[in-house]
Amino acid sequence: MLLSFKTALIPNNKQVTAFKKASGVARHAYNWANAVIMDTLKVRETDKTVKVPSAIDLHKKLVAEVKTVHDWYYETNKNVPQKALADVRQAWDRCFKKTSKQPRFKKKGQRDSFYLEQGSKAAPKIKNDGKRVKLPSIGWVLLAEPLPVTAVHNCVISRQADRWFIAIKYEVEKPIISSNRPTIGVDIGIKELAVCSDSKVFANPKAYRRMSKRLKRSQRRVSRKVNTKTTSVQLSLDLGSFG
């Protein structure tokens, strides 16, 4: 059974720059491949013999036409653009099956992310020591909290606002659930929070009603407060008018 785990990273300035470069390469490769497929589909409107490029075809074309022009592709791990090409091809497959809409072009600063891989499932090489994780082509990066496993085969680095996160999947044994375990029914209500079929009743805490008076008092205190900075500026202006 696979479980997902996501936690924040604490990168230094050099590592943040590396993250941004990798995100930029992933975005560029994705948009480039998306444009190639769209152009191919236009040609297929008049010539059905033209084949829609696969992820492998896109990678060969990228190496021949893009990497030779943009040297900054080589500043990131090779898995970064490869996974972006696979992602856009899978997105088009879903579109062809009419299970999703046509893939859109990615924009800078929106859902920036990239994929890293090292080793294999049998011998994962993205290791961590409980405090840091060693990312391919980047090095040791501090973790906000320890990962649940000591090594993984792959991971996804993503950005939310100004924070960077690592997401992994790891396998655990599926828990054994007894087939003859007791069952219970729960009725959720307003007067009572929950009433169980075994007659157990959970009272509604009614937190908002309990705290509403305190909230009103706090709001009144805030409304009566004066912005001292604004007042001092206004006072200086008033005094200046007498000069």
Q: What are the residues whose beta carbons fall under 8 Å from the beta carbon of 82, sequence distance 6 or more?
A: 59
| pLDDT band (50, 70, 90) for residue 175 | confident
Encode pLDDT of 86-104 as tens digits: 999 999 999 999 999 999 9
The predicted-structure confidence for 179-215, as pLDDT tens digits, reads as follows 787 888 999 988 888 999 988 999 988 888 778 888 8
Q: Which residue has the tokens 């191919």?
A: 40
CB atoms within 10 A of CB 83: 22
Model pTM? 0.73
The per-residue pLDDT for 34 is 97
Residue with tokens 């050099």: 14
47 phi/psi in degrees, rounded to 5? -140, 100
Percentage, residues of the chain above pLDDT 90: 70
Q: pLDDT, tens digit, for every residue of 3-50?
A: 999 999 999 999 999 999 999 999 999 999 999 999 999 999 999 899
